[in-house]
Amino acid sequence: MRREQKKRRPSLNHEEVKVLLREAKLRNHPYYHIWLLTISLGLRRSELDGLKWTDLNFDHRLIYLCRQHIPGEGEVNRLKGLADRTVAIPAFLIPELLKMKLASTSPYVIDIKCHKWNSGAQAAVLKDFCREIGIKELAHQRLRATHITLAISDGISLGIVKTNVGHVLLSTTNRYFDESGILMRGQTDSLKICVPQDEAGEVLPLKTVK
Closest CA to 87 of 65, 112, 69: 65
Beta bridge partners of 52: 108
Task: Assess whether pLDDT exceeds 70 at residue 133.
Answer: yes
AA letter at 55: D
CATH (residue range 14-182): 1.10.443.10
Enter the pTM of the model: 0.81
CB 11 within 8 A of CB 138: yes
Most confident by average pLDDT, 67-71, 135-139, 195-199: 135-139
Mean pLDDT of the chain: 86
The residue-averaged pLDDT of 147-159 equals 90
CB 135 within 8 A of CB 12: yes
- The residues, any chain, with a CB within 8 Å of residue 82's CB and separated by 6 or more, are none
Task: Assess whether pLDDT exceeds 70 at residue 183.
Answer: no
Tell me what pLDDT residue 203 has: 58
- What b/e readout covers 174-193, taking b as 16+ CB neighbours within 10 angstroms? eebbebbeeeeeeeeeeeee
Report how far apart, in Å, the C-alpha atoms of 140 and of each of 43, 59, 84, 203 are.
Answer: 11, 30, 23, 56
